[in-house]
Amino acid sequence: MTAHDWWIIAPELAAAGLAALLVIADLALRNKRILAELAVIGLAAPLFFSLNLWFGWYGDTTDPSALFGAITADRFALFFHFLLIGVSAAVILASTKYLERMPGLRGEFLALMLFSMSGMMMLVSAKELVAIYVSLELTALPVAALAAFHRGARSVEAGLKFLVLSAIASALLLYGMVYIYGFTGSTNLEIILQRLNEIPSQPDQPFGSYGVLLGVVLIVAGFAFKMAVVPWQMWVPDVYEGSPTPLAAFLSVASKAAAFAVIIRVLYAAFGSEPLTQDWSGLIAALAAVTMTVGNLLALSQKNIKRLLGYSTVSQAGYMLAGVAAVSANSGSAGFIAGPQGVLYYLMGYAFTNLAVFLSVIAITHRTGNELISGLNGMGRRSPVVAMLLTVGLLSLLGVPPTVGFMSKAFVFSAAVNSGLIWLAVIGVVNTAVSAYYYLRIVRAMYFEEPSSDEPIRADLRALAATGTAAAGVAVFGIGPWFLLKLAEESLTIL
């Protein structure tokens, strides 16, 4: 452990330290109103340390790997650090009004969310299986506690479902990791890749041997829970419906982004050599096709807006998986990163989009207390600004040009076509057409249905600022995607 190691892990340490500081402040301070502001301002610390690693202002940061190769601060990790910090700040800003309803527990809510965020930051930086597992649990356990936060019947049920399913998923993940460790003798992703190339492989067995096959399938199955991919889609709507809405926003964006980051890193770093990529590419492509279809079909019949958005995030995860599966050429060649680049762009755009949608839903349902789609009737008149922001978000989720959602789908599907997965792209386009039904149903309810009352709904200013920023991002990065694309490309230099 040298000074260099401290600089590398500084963002994660700062995030965890901020969470611990909030716990202490919650115990010590009488005025709990400032806790949310403290959290948002405090997020500047991990942001600063991440920016420092990106630009190399202070300290020796030329070698991004630290702690014996367990943690790295490469561009890929830093890209997700920025995303996670931004999402957390937006969710905290938008939930200050929401938190006032539970005065005694404000500190815990913020601290648990930040602990989960520090786990996610660890997860995207981890380059070693034990570190990945531990940070995965650090992201999951606070979320389970947060889901059960209201202590009502539904909230507790949501927490219980999340915890039990997450435990089963991590047991599967662990079993897979241990098999990979057993077959390669190492838990470091790069050494695993080396060893897999050295070990003579049986050509008749997928992945060179059935042991590695078992390991990879179980690892993918474990991460599939966090990505909310079929067959783990069942927890999503229940947890979104039962848990506090800010948590649902946090889960749907941050947790999903971290899970995609880690699965891209594991698949491309540890199993990224030529015969192996074809083996897992087929597996992921099948998973993607099933996920987008199932998510869409289940979303069609939903009446509760949070459940509908839950299934919508499932189908979005399916589209993103199509990008992960689109691995076409050898590592090092130009086409190799097209798929992951699309996914990174998709994740960034999806963060803006889904935040715009969820935060506007929070702003409305917090006032009306009605979470049914019919509760949004006539919002175009009652709350024109929020309704407009929500519409922008929904159009981007659907993928209407010129929003960021359209561009991300275009990149991901074209990457799939280029790597020979034309059938997958066709399924994706068909699914997009189907999803128009339920996304536009919400828009129709807001503008063409009669409201139950004409009383205008005024949103909290901070929440409006966060939602507006997200919606602006949807428009700006949809019209001019170059900045994000460049960022994503630069982040993928590790592959």
- Residue ranges that bind another protein, judged by CB under 8 A: 1, 20, 23-24, 27, 129-130, 133-134, 137, 141, 144-145, 148, 151-154, 156-160, 163-164, 167-168, 171, 174-175, 177-179, 181-182, 184-187, 195, 198-199, 237-238, 241-242, 298, 301-302, 307
Report d(CA 128, CA 33) in Å as an integer. Answer: 40
Q: Which is nearer to another protein, 215 or 481 (CB)?
A: 215
Size (the chain), residues:
495
Dihedral pair phi/psi, residue 451, rounded to 5°: -75, 155
Is the bond into 402 cis (omega within 30 degrees of 0)?
Answer: yes
Q: Do the Cβ atoms of 305 and 40 come closer than 8 Å?
A: no
Which one, 27 or 334, has the nearer CB to another protein?
27
Do 143 and 251 touch, CB atoms closer than 8 A? yes
- As given in the structure block, the two tokens for residue 451 are 């409201």
Q: Which one, 222 or 393, has the nearer CB to another protein? A: 222
Min CB(209)–another protein separation in Å: 11
Whichever of 240 and 477 has its CB closer to another protein, that residue is 240
Q: Give CA–CA dist 207/201, Å, rounded.
A: 8
Q: Which CB, 151 or 486, lies closer to another protein?
A: 151
Could you tell me the smallest distance in angstroms from the CB atom of residue 187 to another protein?
5
- Of 184 and 396, nearer to another protein (C-beta) is 184
Residues whose CB is less than 8 angstroms from the CB of residue 54 and which lie 6 or more positions away in sequence, other chains included: 75, 78
Q: Closest approach of Cβ 208 to another protein, in Å?
A: 12
Nearest by Cα to 254 from 156, 131, 115, 363? 115
Q: For residues 131 and 125, give the distance between their C-alpha atoms in angstroms, rounded to a whole number.
A: 9
Nearest distance, CB of residue 163 and another protein, angstroms: 6
Rounded to a whole number of angstroms, the minimum distance from the CB of residue 460 to another protein is 28
Q: Which is nearer to another protein, 262 or 347 (CB)?
A: 262
Q: How far is the CB of 7 from another protein (least distance, A)?
A: 15
Which of 392, 263, 247 is closest to 310 using CA atoms?
247
Query: By C-beta, is 230 or 474 nearer to another protein?
Result: 230
CA distances to 252, 357, 495 from 352, rounded to whole Å, are 12, 9, 26
The distance of Cα 459 from the centroid of its chain, to the nearest Å, equals 26
Cα Rg of the chain (Å, integer): 22
Angle at which helices 404-418 and 422-448 cross, to 10° = 170
Q: Could you give the 3-state DSSP secondary structure of residue 158? A: helix
Q: Which is nearer to another protein, 44 or 178 (CB)?
A: 178
What's the min distance (Å) between Cβ of 59 and another protein? 17
Min. distance of Cβ 156 from another protein in angstroms? Answer: 5
Element (H, E) at 65: strand 65-66
The distance of closest approach from Cβ of residue 194 to another protein in the complex, given in angstroms and rounded to an integer, is: 8
Q: Which is nearer to another protein, 218 or 362 (CB)?
A: 218
200 three-class SS: coil
Task: Give 11's contacts (C-beta < 8 A, 6+ positions apart).
Answer: 46, 47, 49, 50, 53, 73, 81, 121
CB of 352 to another protein, least distance (A): 29
